[in-house]
Structure 1
Amino acid sequence: MLPALLKNHHRIHDCAVEVLEKTQLTFLVTGPWFTNMKLLVTVDPANVHHILSKNVGNYPRGSKFKEICEVLGDGIFTTNSEMWQYHRRMAQSVFGHPEFHQALVEKVWEKVESGLIPFLDRASEQRLEIDLQDLFGRFSFDTISTVVMNYDPGSLSIDLPNLPFLKALHDFEEVIVYRHVVPTCVWKFQRWLGIGQEKKHREAWKIIDDFVYGYISKRQAEIRKNSQSKACKVGNGLGVELMTIYMDEVRKSAEIGSMFGAGRGTVGVALVWFFYLLTKNPHVLSKIKEELDTMIVQVQHCRTDDDITWNQYKILSRNFQDLKDKLIYLHAAVCESLRLYPPVPFNTKVPMGPDTLPSGHKVDSSMQIIFSMYAMGRMKSLWGEDCYEFKPERWILETGKIRYVPSHQFLAFSTGPRTCVGKNMALTMMKAATIAIISRYHIEPVQAHPIVPNASMILHMKKGFKIKVAAYE
């Protein structure tokens, strides 16, 4: 099994789908005796619920995960117990603030109007080919940076400036996957020699450190100068300054870098796969626009035979928090996209002690358990024979309400105590940006451009998503 895994490293996610479909949702990978490598890969919802919820105490973030993801530091993604609870409380205090999401929508629209629209208008006028993945990555990076650090790096501007930090994040994500699928002794030897993926990792780490440390130093100086409070600022016209909460707590800049880096990567990738699916399924796009038009007529009290303007879509999106529960089809389409293309395609755990999973597999502390969210969304036994179809209707009940799917079967935002605290933020950003773009532009994919998932901890398209845009008259 290990040779096949290494041979298919470039298409590791689809390889996992093929094997899991034949092995009743769980399989074991063992390496040669000298590698001490044992991996259990599972998408069995019962196993997932057992590990991430029911018996979560036996499956903390292990030392192996922390070692593999060392650049993340001692933050919310790598810590356990009291330290993890502290970081989670800090994040929840921001994301759960009553004014947070409205402030977020405002920041999204600021970036839409100052960055996305000017760039897309020029691309439309000149009929340029553009990479939508790069564009969404820059859009989400600038927005997340503004929300997290009250700093807009300006990566999304007409000239699309080259920012080494963006490439460093991408390189780091690829190295994490590589470290998961090769024996520890292999990547550690490469790190010692400073070659291959480990050379890339070392260079990326330095860039991330320099970028975030530079910001921290600058912000600390401003706080001392202005005697500002460390309280979270929400709705103050500047967005939500999450960084000020951590300012005196930072041990490593990478901890904070990973915080907005993860947000930038996941939201940008989720958006590009969503738009890819919309271009492949124009009937879904038509239904989303029909739902938006209906909502505009209801809320803004205009006549059904009036032409709806982009400004009316803008007003609708700016009042998104009041209307989010009414945009059922849009929510269903986003969920369906996340089922097929989860931004984080896998997760790992290491048991502290022996355990027997509901599937009957026995595990112990010498094993690493991998959940493939990408494969889980493609299992016929879980989603039906039509599981490869983009079908938002599977999420909608006959009553018109959203169908409940257990989080241990739909793992896009994880499940249990470590459920993603930024879930609502990500959904808000995706929906607000979608409304802004589909109401103003027609998107046409460049023919013959290959769309292939990359082997990375974030599910990027390997060669991007080349498109042309045309503004509506």
Structure 2
Amino acid sequence: MFPTVLYYLYVYPPHDVITYALKRSDGTFFFKGPWLADLDILVTANPLDIHHIMSKNFNNYPRGEKFRSIFNILGDGFSSSDGELWASQRRTIMSLLKLPSFQSLFERTIWNKVENGLWPLLECLSKSGANLDLQDIFQRFAFDMICTLLFDHDPKSMSTECPNIPCEKALSEAEEAIFHRHIRPQIFWKVQRLLNIGNEKKLSNAWETIDQFIYTSLSQKQNELTNEKCEPLEEKFNYCATIIKEFKDQSGASGDATKFLRDNVLNLMVAGRDSTSSTLSWLFYLLSQYPKVEDKIREELDAKLLKKKGREWKDFITKELHNLVYLHGALCEVLRLFPPISFQHKSPIQSDVLPSGHRVNKNTTIILSYYSMGRMISIWGEDCNKFKPERWVSVGGDIKHQPSYKFPAFNVGPRACLGKDMSFSHMKMVAATIIYHYHVELLKGHSVFPSRSILLKMKHGLNVRLIKRSK
């Protein structure tokens, strides 16, 4: 099977090749790789299989050594750890995210970035009539926001000058290099790493750039805390100071407390930057293909946010964003069709039989294709390829919820994303601001398709022109 699959994976978008194979195999197929290449892989988009792996038999499917080898840049962060270490990290992060002081900081940070960063930049670009890469702007926005939250420092990568911030670009380069570890024999990329060539050289350089940024930022914050230059936490909540305090006595498998802190900060950076920027990019691409959806979102904004006496645009708050049901449905549709994490990588520690009837042996590589799930007729019906926010709105006008093993955009089971509600708030603030004030027009001839990355980004960005709407 390998020569044929290798050809299709490099000629066509890999996610679509996998989806085609899954549709012809009732949602699950076994790929037989070359002898001694360690590429025998079971691929599934079956909701029952995913529910079994991620929830019902969770303890039999840890991250494991194979996952940590591929994602070694994440170190001992919560995304790659297992057992009590993972449980402890999750409890710590969950407790911090639930603090009212953090919620207030989060909302204030987003709006400040929208008002003082995003809006001025878009106004400048729309007046000049210049073309812009909206995906790049969303990535810069999310990077600035997560750095402001984590380090209490805004790198201001999103400005009219669009400065080059090495760490921001290095994150994307690392994600692309890691993707190739999934479709190549392990011995191949390990030799590349040893010789420091190809994608492994790209990953090594990106890793160094990321570490330099994180260690420098942490060092500056720790010096501020030591010199008592920052305000007491009771007066002003400081997320970085709280993280440093919570993890100060932990060191992970490396035994290095500073590296352990770096690992968790990197995991938070990736989680905070990539999911929202990817979703917003695909949202505006789909809106350019479905203008009636864009009109309905504007009607909802008029009806639920702006037709109140004395209201200004910036007065809307997170609580009122929950009333934007149709916009919420549009974002769910984007996440269904283009989930930021398009696949999961799993291996059992004991042999198992999946609900689909497939037997998996110890250490079998299993790929859970979330991208393919959104395109399965058996899950979403005959119109599964259509962008249809209405499928998320109930007859009574409320948001229609779906089980995570059917809609796994925020992961499934005990490892489900802790920042789901915050992500929706972030995306609604940004999307509502742009949709109400501008029409985003995709440039003619610009081809949009997924890149070869572990995050579902656009290969050539999202090149558009902004048209200011009249009041």
Shared fold (TM-score greater than 0.5)? yes
| Structure 2 residue 308 is the aligned partner of structure 1 residue 312 | no
Deviation at 1:468, TM superposition (A): 0.8
Moved more, 391-400 or 245-254: 245-254
Counterparts of 1:77 and 1:211 in 2: how far apart (Å)?
20
Structure 1 residue 149, shift from structure 2 partner: 2.1
User: Which ranges of structure 1 fall in alignment gaps of 5 or more residues?
Assistant: 303-310
Look up the match of 2:16: 14
Moved more, 50-59 or 398-407: 398-407
TM-score w.r.t. length of structure 1:
0.93
1:351 to 325, 342, 348: 348
Quickly say closer, same or farther: Cα 1:438–1:241, change in 2 above 3 A. Answer: farther
Deviations 1:252-276 (A, max 9, x none): 5344223213321111111111111
Partner SS for 1:60: coil
How far apart, in 2, do the equivalents of 1:185 and 1:229 lie? 51
User: Which of 142, 145, 156 is residue 143 of structure 1 equivalent to?
Assistant: 145
* Pair 1:471–1:240, CA change in 2 (3 A): farther
**1:458 aligned to 444, 455, 460, which one?**
455
TM-superposed deviation, 1:403 = 1.8
Aligned length: 459
Give the partner amino acid of 2:378: S
Alignment match, 1:33: 35
Tell me, in whole angstroms, the C-alpha distance in 2 between the residues paired with 1:405 and 1:470.
35
Aligned residue in 2 for 1:2: 2
Q: Could you tell me which residue of structure 2 aligns to residue 268 of structure 1?
A: 277
> Which residue, 413, 421, 428 being the options, matches 2:410?
413
1:275-424 → structure 2 map (5 Å cutoff): 275-296=284-305, 300-301=308-309, 312-316=312-316, 319-320=317-318, 322-424=319-421
Instruction: Pick closer, same or farther for the CA change 1:109–1:241 going to 2, 3 Å.
Output: farther
Partner of residue 198 from structure 1, selected from 194, 197, 200: 200
> Alpha-carbon deviation of 1:6?
2.4
Distance 1:426 1:411 in 2: 15
Instruction: Give the conservation status (yes or no) of the 8 Å contact 2:225–2:241.
Output: no
CA distance in 2: counterparts of 1:329 and 1:168, whole angstroms:
35
The range that moved more, 260-269 or 456-465, is: 260-269
Q: 1:296 to 1:347 in 2, by over 3 A?
A: same
Q: Which moved more, 1:37-46 or 1:256-265?
A: 256-265
Which residue in 1 is equivalent to 2:259? Answer: 251
Deviation at 1:325, TM superposition (A): 3.3
The 8 Å contact of residues 62 and 82 in structure 2, kept in 1 or not, is answered as: yes
What is the RMSD of the two structures over their aligned residues, measured on CA atoms?
2.0
Q: Which residue of structure 2 aligns with residue 156 of structure 1?
A: 158
Q: Does 1:436 align with 2:444?
A: no
SS of the residue aligned with 1:34? coil
Does residue 94 of structure 1 match 2:102?
no
Helix, strand or coil at the partner of 2:367: strand
Instruction: Rate the CA distance shift 1:32–1:403 in 2: closer, same or farther, 3 A.
Output: same
Q: Relative to 1, partners in 2 of residues 1:122 and 1:228: Cα closer, same or farther, differing over 3 Å?
A: closer
How far the C-alpha of 1:183 sits from its partner, in A, is 1.1
Q: Which moved more, 1:22-31 or 1:2-11?
A: 2-11
Stretches of structure 2 lacking an aligned partner (at least 5 in a row): 251-257
Amino acid at match of 1:151: H
Cα pair distance change 1:103/1:20, threshold 3 Å = same
Whole-angstrom CA distance in 2 between matches of 1:443 and 1:409: 31
- Identical aligned pairs, as a percentage? 40
Q: How big is the shift at 1:19?
A: 0.5
Q: Which residue of 2 aligns with 1:134?
A: 136
- Residues 230 and 245 of structure 1 are in contact (CA less than 8 Å); yes or no, is this contact kept in structure 2? no
- The alpha carbon displacement at 1:94 in A equals 2.0
Q: For 2:100, what is the secondary structure of its paired residue?
A: coil
Other structure's SS at 1:272 match:
helix
Which deviates the most, 129-138 or 251-260? 251-260
TM-score under structure 2 normalisation? 0.93
Q: Look up the equivalent residue of 2:289 and give its one-letter code.
A: K
58 and 452 in structure 1: CA distance in 2 versus 1, 3 angstrom threshold? same
Q: Which amino acid aligns with 1:66?
A: R
Q: Distance in 2 between matches of 1:89 and 1:229?
A: 26
The one-letter code sitting in structure 1 at the alignment partner of 2:259 is: R
Would the alpha carbon gap of residues 213 and 54 (structure 1) be closer, same or farther in structure 2, given more than 3 Å must change?
same
Shift of 1:162: 0.6
Whether the 8 Å CA contact 2:63–2:347 is kept in 1: the answer is yes
For residues 472 and 218 of structure 1, the distance between their equivalents in structure 2, rounded to whole angstroms, comes to 43
For 2:468 and 2:462, the matched residues in 1 are separated by 19
- Is the CA contact (8 Å cut-off) linking 2:101 and 2:237 kept in structure 1? no
Q: Report the Cα distance in structure 1 between the residues aligned to 2:81 and 2:247, rounded to whole angstroms.
A: 18
- Cα drift, residue 470 of structure 1: 2.2
Work out whether residues 132 and 464 of structure 2, in 8 Å CA contact, stay in contact via their aligned partners in 1.
yes
